[in-house]
Amino acid sequence: MYFDTFDTGYIGVLTLVGDDAGLRHIEFEEKKHPIAISDAWKKNAKFFAPVKAQLRAYFKRELKQFDLPLAPVGTPFQLKVWQALRDIPYGELVSYRTIAQAIGQPNAVRAVGGANGKNPIPIIVPCHRVVGSDGSLTGFGGGLATKQRLIDLEKEQL
């Protein structure tokens, strides 16, 4: 497993984790679900060069769709939710109910919220685009202020 850090210049420093299968985690400085960096992991800036290039372009408002190999680990339900998150268009907000309906489980709104909260690859898998049914901001691994900043960044581009 490899790791490195990336200063976004917008929402602080991110920790990136991945291996030959792809990007596995992005962690915010404000950690809701912290990753324990193992002594066996190797710091490898070169490995994450494509990730950093795309993140840099995203934060400069030059990139709306990421194209990176991703390798999140989760339950089949979580993986289905995370895939649905990737289908949310840049700059748009949807509700947890919308995601539940998109995956064919309209009664699983709370479970969708749980899966959304455990998304290991935020920003690239845009869980920040999911809000409450009334449009309110709800939990986010990087904190609600960070979620709002990501929403604002994308809204400025539309």
Residues with a known catalytic role: 127
Which residues lie across from 3 on neighbouring strands? 17, 43
The rounded distance, in Å, linking the Cα atoms of 5 and 134 is 35
Comparing CA positions, the residue from 137, 88, 132, 83 lying closest to residue 110 is 132
The rounded distance, in Å, linking the Cα atoms of 74 and 80 is 9
The rounded distance, in Å, linking the Cα atoms of 42 and 130 is 33
Strands 2-7 and 130-131: unpaired
